[in-house]
Amino acid sequence: MIDYRYQIIRMYNEQMYFPTTRVLTILEMLQSHVSMSGPELAERLEVNTRTVRRYITMLQDLGIPVEAERGRYGSYRLRPGFKLPPLMFTEDEALALTLGLLAARRLGLTSATPAVEGALAKIERVLPLALRERVWAVQETLILDFANAGPTLRTNVVVTLCTAMQQQRRVSMRYASFNAEESERAVDLYGLVYRPGYWYAVGYCHLRQDLRVFRLDRIAHAEIGSETYTRPAGFDPLEYVSRSLAMTPRTWPVEVLVEAKLEEARRYVPAVVATLEETPTGLVMRCSTGNLAWFAHLLTELPFAYTVRQPAELRAELQKIAARIAEMASRE
């Protein structure tokens, strides 16, 4: 089998004016797309269409069957059935792929560990020895500490949801609530979001007739339906999920008046912890918590003044912290 990439590099060394990286990039893009237009290739490579034509001619001169459709907006494609030789990666590309696979395994993005190991093995197989040893070094020494990585996800569920969102088709799914009660849902999905510990999907639930947030590890089964929908323009899944998690009903509803600008407060109060709202009386922080002691400690870390409006029990927790700090400070 002819190693076209080697020939391209050799031609570059001989002529010294062909930008090898861009020619290889065209080759890879044509391999991964049915066809691509000259202007599209030019835009991605940040060159003009005349330069693209020169690169295409170079590939054709090497015997790579690139077919061209004539015309102002003509497109290029590899002849159907043509297979490229094994991939070649730069050191940065190999490292990026390795880190991505290791992170996927650590975050529980696939329930099949062999899938990650198989992909890593395939990458290693096509690498030169020196680069392969560098990748091994990363795998053997790097520790990815994702606190509360959360439960492992079902790969087929993730793929189904992503495909449904891309095609904007309704999903039928069997979903378990926090108390393990299962229900059948028809959902128009607007986005997938990862927050430390869990993955969430947000969309319009036809059972509840409202927007809802779903934890992916609680989805037992998902299937793409035939009904289509249109995602709302400008909808921010991350912002919605963060706000929903902060306001999830718990034991204690909290309201605190914060003496700070909105931009300043946002640096210290994550959206997933509480919402921040500018009101005529000042900046108000609202949330719901099941652990007042934890929330009191969070308030003590704020670098600005605040007033607890509710609950009174939260003020009591702050007084306990103040008394303990005073006791520690008085020790000699």
Domain ranges of the chain: 4-78, 91-141, 155-235, 247-329
Q: Inform me whether the pLDDT recorded for 16 exceeds 80.
A: no
Assessment of whether the complete model's pTM goes beyond 0.75: no
Rounded distance between C-alpha atoms, residue 166 and residue 293, angstroms: 43
Give the CATH number of domain 247-329: 3.30.70
Look-up: residue for tokens 């065209």? 26
Average pLDDT score over residue span 167-185? 90
Rounded distance between C-alpha atoms, residue 242 and residue 283, angstroms: 18
Give the CATH number of domain 4-78: 1.10.10.10
Q: Inform me whether the pLDDT recorded for 153 exceeds 90.
A: no
Look at 41 and 22; give whichever has higher pLDDT: 41
Confidence (pLDDT) at 181? 87
CA-based nearest residue to 200, from 213, 211, 187, 182: 213
* E strand or H helix at 177: none
Confidence (pLDDT) at 207? 94
Confidence (pLDDT) at 30? 85
Average pLDDT score over residue span 127-133? 79
Query: To the nearest whole number, what is the mean pLDDT of the chain?
Result: 82
Instruction: Give the whole-number percent of the chain exceeding pLDDT 70.
Output: 85
* Fold entry, domain 155-235: SH3 type barrels. (2.30.30)
Beta bridge partners of 68: 76
Please write the tens of the pLDDT for every residue from 179-226.
778 999 999 999 998 876 788 999 999 999 999 999 988 998 999 999
Please write the tens of the pLDDT for every residue from 257-285.
999 999 999 899 888 788 899 998 889 99
Look at 47 and 147; give whichever has higher pLDDT: 47
Q: Which two tokens stand for residue 268?
A: 């210290």
- ∠97-102-108 over CA atoms, to 5°? 125
Please give the full DSSP string across 26-80, using - where no structure is assigned. HHHHHHHSS-EEHHHHHHHHTS-HHHHHHHHHHHHHTT--EEE--STT-EEEEPT
Rounded distance between C-alpha atoms, residue 186 and residue 39, angstroms: 41
